[in-house]
Amino acid sequence: MSLREHQNFLARLYTDPDLRRSFFEDPAGVARETGLDETEAATLAAISTAELDGFANSLVWKRLREAEKLLPHLVQVMGEEFRGVFFDFASTFNPQGTKKHLDDAVELCRSIEKAKELDVQFRAAARFDRKRLGFVNSDRFAAVCLSLRNVPGIPLVAIWIRKAGRVHYFSV
């Protein structure tokens, strides 16, 4: 297994509770399925489940704190429900690449927007923050976000314009 494959396996092991459970139940079986050699599997299996779960939990909390920073409007609108929704989301999505926290936040917004069982105000706030992050982290000249709902803290019309390398924001 290459270094990159090994790192990807460890990232999945830390972030995927089902894989962690399967690995500790049958390290050799999971090693065969994932390409991990038996020596590496035995070394990892020697780590206590509690230690690995504790480290994995700390990574999820770090992801939560970063998402809260990147999604201030969504956090404001959702309040305490944000954390529960984030923890559910975090167990199903493992960001890849160099902008993991940004990818995490954007994908969380997408999942909230699609979740018909969530409050429409939550979905509107997720859409607003996703549009804002998308614009700020792009080379586009302008972006507009129209809100179909009257959500406290979210404008009905938001306009972002990039001029001379700076982002300017207008709202109605």
Structure confidence at residue 40 (pLDDT):
82
Tens digits of residue pLDDT in 25-61? 888 888 888 888 888 888 888 887 888 888 888 888 9
Judge whether 169 and 152 are in contact, CB under 8 Å: no
Structure confidence at residue 83 (pLDDT):
96
Residue type, 27: P
Tell me the residue length of the chain.
172
Residue ranges per structural domain of the chain: 48-130
Q: Which long-range contacts (CB under 8 A, 24 or more apart) does 85-92 make?
A: 85/112, 85/118, 85/122, 87/60, 90/15, 90/60, 90/63, 90/64, 91/15, 91/16, 91/17
Task: Report the predicted TM-score, pTM, of the whole model to 2 decimal places.
Answer: 0.78
Judge whether 145 and 171 are in contact, CB under 8 Å: no
| Concatenated DSSP letters of 72-134 | HHHHHHHTTHHHHHHHHHHTT----SS-HHHHHHHHHHHHHHH-TTS-HHHHHHHHHHHHHHH
Please list the residues that pair with 169 across neighbouring strands.
160
Residues 9, 15: Cα–Cα separation, whole Å: 10
Structure confidence at residue 129 (pLDDT):
96
Question: Which segments of the chain have a pLDDT < 70?
Answer: 1
Structure confidence at residue 94 (pLDDT):
79
